[in-house]
Amino acid sequence: MLCAKLIQQSDGSYLFGPDLTATDMSTCSYVVLSGQDSLNGLWSLTPESALQISGAIGLLWGFAWVIRQVALYFRSKENVEDD
């Protein structure tokens, strides 16, 4: 990770550049990820962790489908009793 800061130019515009004076990341105004740091993000999933995430999403969709079916059942039963 790299420290960065905004530098105001003579024409009033800003330039985003490295902050070479910062020695501690907690004192940086802005922190920029380097190429190596960005590889440890969401897209570096192992097949096992991707399978766990997709399984959780599938269970959530299945649960939502069951809730919808129960709601449709009670709604249709309510319409039959009104007749």
Between residues 43 and 63, the one the model is more confident about: 63
Q: Is the pTM of this model over 0.75?
A: no
Three-state DSSP class for residue 27 = helix
First-last CA distance in the chain: 69
Note whether 20 and 4 are within 8 A (CB).
no
| Distance from C-alpha of 18 to C-alpha of 24, rounded to nearest angstrom | 13
Q: What is the pLDDT of residues 15-60, one digit of tens each?
A: 888 888 877 888 788 888 777 666 666 667 788 988 999 999 999 9
Q: How large is the average pLDDT for residues 56-80?
A: 93
Domain boundaries, the chain: 1-44, 46-83
Residue 64 has pLDDT above 80, yes or no: yes
